[in-house]
């Protein structure tokens, strides 16, 4: 069930990005926010890598994809911005690759197996629940962004 909900949310994020040109995917229609659909895909690639590789496999030194290493996850927005030179095809492929790597990593463990995050144990079950929550939260953002960009709502 946890795997299925995570897959649902991965597919939902992709669906929110479909049918838009590069300008609209990079658009930040909320003036006070750096969020864009393209940025959300980049962010979720980082999140996938963070939880299913750094944490589950206990490999904290795994390099980031977009976030500046010196940021150490402390409020850095470099996965969201800047996007002027970002390539959608490349970034989409990176996200899809990270999703597949996450699936492969998770398949090696039971839900009660643990990895390590900042020196503390973290179970695969917790990672799945967190990932469903993380995608659900950002898919809510994606809903609003998509509606503001071109009026599309719902599935």
Query: What's the structural domain count of the chain?
Result: 1
Better pLDDT: 68 or 118: 118
The counts of H helices and E strands in the chain are 5, 2
The model's pLDDT over 56-84, given as tens digits with 9 standing for 90+, comes to 999 999 999 998 766 555 556 778 888 99
Q: Per the domain annotation, does 128 fall within a domain?
A: yes
Q: Per the domain annotation, does 98 fall within a domain?
A: yes
Mean pLDDT of the chain: 93
Q: Per the domain annotation, does 82 fall within a domain?
A: yes
The model's pLDDT over 12-29, given as tens digits with 9 standing for 90+, comes to 999 999 999 999 999 999
Better pLDDT: 78 or 128: 128
What pLDDT is attached to residue 68? 75
Span of 29-38, 41-50, 62-71, 126-135 with lowest mean pLDDT: 62-71
Q: Whole-angstrom Cα distance, residue 40 to residue 90? A: 14
Q: Which string of b and e fits 10-28 if b means at least 16 CB within 10 Å? A: bebbbebbeebeeebbbbb
Q: Per the domain annotation, does 155 fall within a domain?
A: no
Going by C-beta distance under 8 Å and a sequence separation of 6 or more, which residues neighbour residue 38?
Answer: 17, 22, 25, 26, 83, 86, 88, 91
CATH of the domain at 108: 1.20.120.450
Span of 31-35, 44-48, 73-77, 81-85 with lowest mean pLDDT: 73-77
Per-residue tokens: 120: 């503390």
Handedness of CA 117, 121, 124, 128 (dihedral sign): negative
Q: Whole-angstrom Cα distance, residue 121 to residue 147? A: 40
Q: Per the domain annotation, does 126 fall within a domain?
A: yes
- Full domain range(s) for residue 23: 2-150
DSSP class of residue 50 equals: I
């Amino acid at each position: 069930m946890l795997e299925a909900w995570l897959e649902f949310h991965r597919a939902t994020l992709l669906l929110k990005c479909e049918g838009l040109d590069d300008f609209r995917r990079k658009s930040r229609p909320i003036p006070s926010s750096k969020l864009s659909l393209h940025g959300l895909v980049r962010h979720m690639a980082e999140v996938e890598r963070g939880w299913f590789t750094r944490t589950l496999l206990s490999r904290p030194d795994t390099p980031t994809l977009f976030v500046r290493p010196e940021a150490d996850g402390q409020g850095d927005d470099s996965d969201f911005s800047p996007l002027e030179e970002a390539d959608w095809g490349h970034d989409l492929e990176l996200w899809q690759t990270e999703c597949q790597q996450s699936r492969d990593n998770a398949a090696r463990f039971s839900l009660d197996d643990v990895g390590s995050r900042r020196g503390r144990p973290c179970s695969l079950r917790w990672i799945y629940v967190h990932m469903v929550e993380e995608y659900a939260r950002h898919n809510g953002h994606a809903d609003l962004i998509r509606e503001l960009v071109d009026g599309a709502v719902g599935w």
